[in-house]
Structure 1
């Protein structure tokens, strides 16, 4: 008589066939306590791939930074009065030890100056988005409005942003709104053009279906145009924020008050070149954070990721 007996050990389980009391065959089965080990092992390739990709990205970046530091050191050794990387690092430690001190209108920490510049950028950029994005929709949607506004855009867009600063000073009689006006006028064009381009690229079949369904213009905007154009809008927003942060520094150099541009000019007057270099690096970091944040939002709302 042949029977089968299941034998379980601490590491594995197996089935033994017995014929008249004598074992005939063994059939090994999956180890009992290896499921957790297999789950951990299955996760290991993903972790290794992540760290490998991180290292592959970090090595070129660190190499580039190291090359920049070497060139910087050589330039400092061959130029009178130009600070070395070590001197700049010491100046940065002093600046960021108390970045938000306030000893008067013209003596404030670098943190307050960056925040003041960001506030001006937010005001001018926000107004540009409120006007530029709807204007882009109208230009891309209606040929009459496109024919009316395209010549004006072609005329005004090439004008240097700083050329608008005296107009802002004349209109508002104060430096604060004039700076925001300059940001507004320079950052509105990418949003208008990219939004209009996105609307123009919408397949005509979508609009034909909306016409057959007799959808009103607001529903067409909300259900068809906006979802399809959103990646183009976000691209325009990303370009605009880079331009806005670029221009605010130059605009603040020409106006008095609190702001990173004015702070740089004041440090130049005091011959604190190492502080200027610290401010340049800080401006680059803030601009990079703004752009990378908007790029992450743009990737989130692309068609491939939805």
Structure 2
């Protein structure tokens, strides 16, 4: 009887409401993930404002940057013909080039990575070549690509391709070589053919390594197109930055750099998100 009496208050104890628990979790997430970067960015902006407001400062403060670039911020999609277009069109033009070059690099890079990872002969023959070519700076490829294609647009795509392919090849080959021997033995026991082994064993096992290479590659793609567009001209965020420098529009350059950083971050997050979904959370985030 005493045991029953003692248990009754526990049964009648109020339970936490689901809405309150969700609100608590949201608050905890904001406090641990959102608030720290906001505080750091705010402090950096205050320091920048103080340093930029001094007499003789080389760079404008953030308030001046916003004032000078307000039209670019509120009208990013204007189009006055030719290269005189809003910053959104400049970013879209660069992203299109990145999409072409990076997509080709993914297909070729994963294919070569699988070949090198599977074949010892291919590893010994191609790996030294890959190690040498991957050290060539992106802009060093531009004169060769211009000489070969004789046009700025395919030349920029080639620079993106040749810059981003190496981490994809290397990480894919490492992933293939690190497939557990038990997986290979199981494939032999159940007699998987080449295509079935590739789809059911090889790709899932190597996916975390592959997506690590894809994340590095997309970052290098974005870096390469900015540098290449400064030289090839036309529409693109890289050319926009170079043109702003030639016209002494420092605030425009700073605004463009902010957009470039945000886009680069989003590209990395998108590839990481896809990797987590495909690998069920086993890829690096």
TM-score calculated relative to the size of structure 1: 0.84
Does the aligned pair in 1 maintain the 2:275–2:281 contact within 8 Å?
no
Q: Which is strand-richer, 1 or 2?
A: 1
After TM superposition, the structure 1 stretch with the greater mean CA deviation from structure 2, 295-304 or 234-243, is: 295-304
1:113 and 2:90 are equivalent in the alignment: yes
Does the aligned pair in 1 maintain the 2:51–2:57 contact within 8 Å?
no
Q: 1:62 to 1:165 in 2, by over 3 A?
A: same
Does the aligned pair in 2 maintain the 1:231–1:301 contact within 8 Å?
no
Give the aligned partner of residue 269 of structure 2.
292
Give the deviation of 1:212 after TM superposition: 3.2
Which of 165, 176, 194 is the equivalent residue of 1:217?
Answer: 194
Q: Distance in 2 between matches of 1:122 and 1:54?
A: 33
Q: Distance in 1 between matches of 2:77 and 2:280?
A: 43
- Aligned positions, number: 275
> What are the superposed Cα offsets for residues 90-147 of structure 1, whole Å, 9 maximum, x if unpaired?
2342102221112122211111110000001011101101100111111111111111
Give the deviation of 1:43 after TM superposition: 4.1
Give the aligned partner of residue 173 of structure 2.
196
Give the deviation of 1:81 after TM superposition: 4.7
> What are the superposed Cα offsets for residues 146-205 of structure 1, whole Å, 9 maximum, x if unpaired?
111101101101110110000110000011110000000000011111111111111011
Give the aligned partner of residue 137 of structure 1.
114
Give the aligned partner of residue 72 of structure 1.
48
Q: Distance in 1 between matches of 2:280 and 2:59?
A: 49
Which of 63, 66, 72 is the equivalent residue of 1:95?
Answer: 72
Displacement over 4 Å in runs of 4+: 303-306
SS in 2 for 1:301: helix
SS in 2 for 1:271: coil
Looking at both structures, which has the greater relative contact order when contacts are Cα pairs under 8 Å and sequence separation is at least 6? 2
Which of 3, 21, 24 is the equivalent residue of 1:45?
Answer: 21
Q: Distance in 2 between matches of 1:43 and 1:200?
A: 48
> What are the superposed Cα offsets for residues 73-98 of structure 1, whole Å, 9 maximum, x if unpaired?
23313444521110111234210222
Give the aligned partner of residue 104 of structure 2.
127
Does the aligned pair in 2 maintain the 1:162–1:251 contact within 8 Å?
yes
Give the aligned partner of residue 182 of structure 1.
159
Give the aligned partner of residue 147 of structure 1.
124
Q: Which is helix-richer, 1 or 2?
A: 2
| Structure 1 gaps, min length 5 | 1-26
Q: Distance in 1 between matches of 2:269 and 2:157?
A: 23
Q: Distance in 1 between matches of 2:122 and 2:193?
A: 19
Q: 1:202 to 1:85 in 2, by over 3 A?
A: same
1:267 and 2:244 are equivalent in the alignment: yes
> What are the superposed Cα offsets for residues 253-281 of structure 1, whole Å, 9 maximum, x if unpaired?
01110000101111111111011100000
> What are the superposed Cα offsets for residues 29-76 of structure 1, whole Å, 9 maximum, x if unpaired?
x78xx9xx84x6244234202212212222211121022212322331
SS in 2 for 1:158: coil
Give the aligned partner of residue 162 of structure 1.
139
> What are the superposed Cα offsets for residues 9-40 of structure 1, whole Å, 9 maximum, x if unpaired?
xxxxxxxxxxxxxxxxxx99x78xx9xx84x6
After TM superposition, the structure 1 stretch with the greater mean CA deviation from structure 2, 255-264 or 72-81, is: 72-81
Q: 1:304 to 1:277 in 2, by over 3 A?
A: closer
Which of 130, 150, 172 is the equivalent residue of 1:173?
Answer: 150
